[in-house]
Structure 1
Amino acid sequence: MVTLQQIAFHAGCSLATVSRVLKGEGPVSDEMVRRVRRAAAELGYRPSPATGRATNRSQPVVGVLVPSVTNPVFAASLGGIQHRLQAANHGVLIAQSNYDPALEARAVRSLLEQRPTGLILTLCDAKTSEALSAALPPTVLLNNRPVARFAAAVTVDNYRAGFDLTRHILDHGHRRILVVSGHFRSSDRARLRYDGYLAAMQEAGARPMEAVEIPFVDGYENLDLATVLAQHRPTAIIASNDLLALGVIAALRREGLSVPDDVSVAGFDGIALGRLMTPTLTTISMPDGDMGLAAAALLLDMAENASGCRHLNLDCRLYAGGTVRHLA
C-alpha cells in the first residue's frame, strides 16, 4: 500500500504538503500540486477509508456545479460529464446555484465535504466568484473563461457568438435590434453575448439598445414586454438563451404580434425545443454535450496524470431558422 511518506519522497516535499494537496486544504503552489499528484498517480496511490468523510463509498466521485439542472443546456453538459466519468469508474455529485452568486461558495463547500477527485464548475462570473477563494482540488471551469488561478476551462466564444448572431440579423435588414437577457451578474456568458451584439451594431453603424435584464429563474413564463415594445419599437429581439427566446415569443403573441412577420426573434443554445416549433428558432447552436465530455476528460487528466491546465475552446454554429425575416 502506497503511503503519504512515499509520495512525499517521490515528489521531493514534506509530508504536510502532501496532506494539504490530497485533502485540498491549505495554501499550496500550483507547481507543487502537480508534483504531488503526479507522484501519487505514478505510485498508484488511492485514498484509504480514513482520509475523508465520504471515502467509504465504492468509487471516487467528481463534484459538478451548474446554475440549473432543469435547463436543457446544463442537462446536456451533465450527460456528457457523466458519460465520461462512468467510463473512468467515477461517480458524479451535482449541485446547483440557481444563478445566484451568493449560493455558489456554499454549494462548493458542500461538494468538498465529499472529498471529490476534482470539481467541474459553471459559475455566474468566474472573475468574482467567492467559490474560487477556497483551497480546491483539481478544478475545470465549464462555460467560464479561465482565470489566473484556475487556468483549466472548456468554453465557446460567447462574444463571437453574440457578434455573429447580430450580424446575421443585421444582414436581414434590421437596425432596431433589442437584447432581452437574464441578469448579467448571474451569467458572464450572457454579458459576453451582449458585448458581441454591441460590437456588431457599432461595426454596422446601427444604434445599440440597452439590454432588458430579467431573472433567469421564474422570469420567462410571465414575461411582459408591452412597455419595452412601446418604448423601443424593435423589429428584432435577441434573447440571451433559447428558453428565454421562447418566453419572448409567447410575450409577443400576448401583445397580438406575430413572429417573424411583426418581430423577428433569435436565441442561443440550439435546444431541441427550438427545432420542434414552427417556424424553427434562429439560434447559435452550442456543443453542450461535447463540452461536458471535454471538461470531464480534462479533469481526469489533471487529477490522475498530473497534466497541466488547458483552455479548450469549442466551436459553435449559427442555425438559421425561420424566426428571423428579411425586411423589405
Structure 2
Amino acid sequence: MSDLATVAKRAGVSRATAARAFSQPELVRASTLARVMAAAAELSFRPNRLAQQLRTQATRIIGVLIPDLRNPVFTEQLQAMEIAARAQGYALMVTTTGYDASREAEIVEEMLCQRVDGLVLTVADAEHSELLVKLEQESVPYVLVYNQPDSESVCAVSVDNRQAMHQATQYLYSLGHRHIGMVAGPVAQSDRARLRYEGYCRAMEMCGLVRQPVIEMPHHTRARFELLAPWLEGPERLTALLCSNDLLALSVIGDLQRQGYRVPDDLSVIGFDGIELGELTYPSLCSVVQPRAAIGREAVEVLLARMRGEQPKIQRLPHQLREGESAGPLQRSDTDARRTVPVST
C-alpha cells in the first residue's frame, strides 16, 4: 500500500507539500496540486482523513440544515453548495427538519458532536430561534440561507422577501386585479412566508386595496381546495392568488383545474422560488425567481470567510419576476356573477 511519502516522491514535492495538498488544497499552487493528485491516483493512495482530523482538529465538513429535500428550491441550493464546498476541500453533512422547529436544536447538536467546521442553516423563525441564541455561545460559525433576520449581526444570504412579494402584488395590480389574496402553509413555521405576507400587505395598501388574511394551508407545499373555496364566491371573490412557494402554487393550480376553474382566465396564480418545474407545466407558472444556485455558492463563500476569522459584507441577492401563463389580465369585472362550482369532499 502506498503512503504519503511515496506520493510526494512521485509528484516531486516535499512530504509536507503533499500533506497540505490533501488537507488544505486551497493553499497549494494549482500546478503542484495537480501533480500530487495525479501521483495519488497512479499509486491508488487515499489520505487518512481521521488522522488528519486528529492532527488539525478540523473535519473539513460543513453541516447543512434545511426543512425538506423534496422541495427543489433546497435541492438546487444544495447542489451548488456541494460543488462550491468540494472545490475548497470540504464535504457536506445534510440534515432535514420537516419544518419542525422543535427539532432544530437537537439536529444541530448532533452535527456539533460530529465536529463540523461550520453550519449553513434554514430555520423556521430567525427572529425567535432558541437554536440561534445557543449558537451565539458556540465557537462554530454559521450562516443562514433564505431566512432574512432584521439584525445585521446575523450572517444571512437571501433575497428581499418583502420587496419580492411587493413586486409580485403590484404586477397583479397592473394586470387589472383588485381582489388579490395570498396562500401559505403554516405561517408559524416559516418566517419567509411572514415576510412575503408583509410585502403583499404593503403593496395592497399602496395600491389602495383591501388586504386579506393569509389563506393558511396545513402543509407548506400542498393545497386543500375546501379552505380556498370560500374565497372564490360572491361579488368580492378573489381573482388572483399569490402563493408562498412554487410547489404550493402548482398544487393550488391543480386543485382549481380539477374543480373546473380556468387559470388564468378565472383566477391568476403566482408562485415564489422560480423552480424549473414551474416552467414545464401548463399553464407555465408565473413566479418570483430566487437565485437558488447563487444563494448556495454565496453561503459557502460567506461561511468559509467566517471560518477564516473574517467579517464578510453580505448584501441581499437579486430576485426577478418570471412571467408565466398562470397570471393574466383580469377577464371579468368584479361585479359580474360567478357560476357556482361544487366543492369535492
TM-score (norm 1): 0.79
Aligned sequence identity (%): 38
Letter in 2 for 1:265: V
Q: Name the counterpart of 1:275.
A: 279
**CA distance in structure 2 between the partners assigned to 1:215 and 1:294 by the alignment:** 32
Report the number of matched residues: 276
Q: 1:194 to 1:188 in 2, by over 3 A?
A: same
Does 1 or 2 have the higher relative contact order (CA < 8 Å, sep 6+)?
1
1:220 corresponding residue in structure 2: 222
Per-residue CA distance 1:85-115 (angstroms, 9 max, x = gap)? 1011111011111111111111111111111
Runs (4+) off by over 3 Å: 146-150, 221-224
Indicate how the Cα distance of structure 1 residues 153 and 242 shifts in structure 2: closer, same or farther if over 3 A, else same.
Answer: same
Could you say if the C-alpha distance between residues 149 and 313 of structure 1 is closer, same or farther in structure 2, counting changes exceeding 3 Å?
closer
State the match for 1:197 in structure 2. 200
Q: CA deviation at 1:48?
A: 5.0
Q: Find the counterpart in structure 1 of residue 83 from structure 2.
A: 83
| Structure 1 residue 301 displacement after superposition | 1.3
Q: Specify which of 292, 297, 306 is matched with residue 293 of structure 1.
A: 297
Larger radius of gyration between Structure 1 and Structure 2: 2
Q: 1:319 and 1:48, CA in 2 relative to 1: closer, same or farther beyond 3 A? A: closer
Q: Distance in 1 between matches of 2:239 and 2:117?
A: 50
**Does residue 1:163 correspond to 2:170, yes or no?**
no
Cα distance change on mapping 1:222 and 1:207 into 2, 3 Å: closer
**Counterpart-to-counterpart distance in 1, 2:320 and 2:173:** 17
Secondary structure, counterpart of 1:249 in structure 2: helix
Unaligned ranges ≥5, structure 1: 1-45
Q: Does 1:181 align with 2:184?
A: yes
How far apart, in 2, do the equivalents of 1:183 and 1:320 lie?
A: 27
Answer yes or no: is 1:260 the counterpart of 2:269: no
Instruction: Please report how far the alpha carbon of residue 256 of structure 1 lies from its aligned counterpart in structure 2 after TM superposition.
Output: 1.2
User: Which string of whole-angstrom CA distances, capped at 9 and with x for unpartnered residues, describes residues 179-205 of structure 1?
Assistant: 110122111111111111111110111
Find out whether 1:132 has 2:129 as its counterpart.
no
Q: 1: distance between equivalents of 2:305 and 2:86? A: 15
Q: What are the superposed Cα offsets for residues 102-143 of structure 1, whole Å, 9 maximum, x if unpaired?
A: 111111111111111100011111111121122331111111
Say which SS state the counterpart of residue 156 (structure 1) adopts: coil
Where does the alignment leave 5 or more consecutive residues of structure 2 unmatched?
Answer: 1-50, 332-345
Q: 1:113 to 1:223 in 2, by over 3 A?
A: farther
TM-score (norm 2): 0.75
Determine if the alignment matches structure 1 residue 235 to structure 2 residue 236. no
Residues of 2 paired with 1:148 and 1:196: CA distance? 18
Post-superposition offset of 1:47:
7.3
Distance 1:150 1:77 in 2: 23
Is the contact between residue 222 and residue 251 of structure 1 (CA under 8 Å) also seen in structure 2? Answer: yes
What residue number does 1:5 align with?
A: none
Deviations 1:241-297 (A, max 9, x none): 110001111111222111011111111111111101122111111101110100001
Question: Does the C-alpha gap of structure 1 residues 60 and 250 become closer, same or farther in structure 2, counting only changes over 3 Å?
Answer: same
Shift of 1:144: 1.3
How far the C-alpha of 1:66 sits from its partner, in A, is: 0.6
Counterpart AA for 1:257:
Y
- Give per-residue Cα distances to partners, 1:52-95, cap 9 Å, x unaligned: 7xx7xxx5200011111110001111111111110111110111
Whole-Å separation in 2 of the counterparts to 1:253 and 1:214: 18
Which sits farther off after the overlay, 64-73 or 150-159?
150-159
Pairwise CA distance, 1:223: 4.3
Distance in 2 between residues matched to 1:207 and 1:149, nearest whole Å: 32
Tell me what 1:49 maps to. Answer: 54
Distance in 2, matches of 1:322 and 1:149, equals: 38
Equivalent residue, structure 2, for 1:65: 65
